[in-house]
Amino acid sequence: MQLKLPRHSRYDYSPIVARNDYSWPDEKRLAFCITTNLECWAFGKGKGHDNAIIGARQSQRNYSWRDYGNRVGIWRLFDLFDELKLPLAHNVNSLLYDYAPPIFDVIRRRGDEIVAHGRTNSEALDDFSWEADEARVIKECTDAYIEHEAIIPTGWMGPAGAVENSTSVDLIKEAGYRYIMDWPCDDQPFWMNTRSGPILSVPYPVELNDIPQVVNRHHTAREMCEMIVDQFDEMVEQCAKQPLVMNISLHPFVFGQPFRLRALRAALRHCVEHELKDRVWFCKPGDVADYCYTLPPGTLPGNGPAAA
């Protein structure tokens, strides 16, 4: 009897070399996004990264290290991205509205995108084993975005490593979200199946992400920034054959540290000044999603909406 592996029903296999071709707006070929993670945590409780020991218990040390990002790091990153004139998206815990409201003044001034990121990174969706409890948590954070921004964010990125239940994608779709970034299996957007119709998956990195690279694997800032340059150089050439998305994930408590900013500034300046920059669409994940919804049905992999 042939072994049958456990499978999911969210998407089918699709090799990138056998897909339809299309371009981004103005015939661009590489969508370049940068997404920060603006998070808050319970003091001494729940989940949370440690800067020295993987899996360390929660303490005043690792709480305050992460809180550096909200007090100092994000402000340094805002300055950097103003200098480079680059747009940003932010994965935002909804409880951050109560904890650090001045951050949102700058987000609104810049016209940045807010991506829903759960209530707090001290919990993940799989902490709530009953579907009704998970739906209540999603609704609670969605209501907070509506209260403060008057709209629902179009995108969702799950908190605490995006650990999901089997019905999470269904509940996110039913809450009104149009795209997710929790399934890092592709360099192009694709349609995912839910019980209430399709939802778009927009690429989000687990490699070009400073938590796995710097915190967990102990790479230096320059090593990660070399990865950013190499990724860009390779993808800006590859995109001549296929439209691609390059997304970079930054946490202000990691790359908002002064000694890492210089390497990041140099890497991003390389990207914005590249000789092939005319191929690049400097945008936000929500821009990518909005454009994908305008493409003719059948353009992207998966069973998308019947009409654009």
Domains and CATH numbers, the chain: 21-292 (3.20.20.370)
On whether the CB atoms of residues 228 and 271 are closer than 8 A, the answer is yes
H/E segment holding residue 76: helix 74-84
On whether the CB atoms of residues 50 and 62 are closer than 8 A, the answer is yes
Strand segments, DSSP code E, in the chain are 30-38, 89-92, 113-116, 155-156, 179-180, 190-192, 199-201, 244-250, 280-282
Stated pTM of the model: 0.95
Angle between helices 74-84 and 102-110 (to 10 degrees): 10
Please give the pLDDT value at position 116: 98
- CA 118/CA 160 separation, integer angstroms: 9
Sign of the C-alpha dihedral computed for residues 180, 183, 188 and 192 taken in this order: negative
pLDDT in tens, 200-248: 999 999 999 999 999 999 999 999 999 999 999 999 999 999 999 999 9
pLDDT in tens, 71-126: 999 999 999 999 999 999 999 999 999 999 999 999 999 999 999 999 999 998 88
Give the Cα-Cα-Cα angle 204, 209, 214 (nearest 5 degrees). Answer: 170
- CA 153/CA 229 separation, integer angstroms: 30
Token pair recorded at residue 287 = 């821009």
Give the Cα-Cα-Cα angle 34, 39, 43 (nearest 5 degrees). Answer: 155
Q: 109 to each of 78, 103, 104, 112, 149, how far by Cα in Å? A: 11, 10, 8, 8, 13
On whether the CB atoms of residues 165 and 126 are closer than 8 A, the answer is yes
Tell me the sheet residues that pair with 282: 32
> What integer best gives the mean pLDDT of the chain?
95
- CA 151/CA 156 separation, integer angstroms: 14
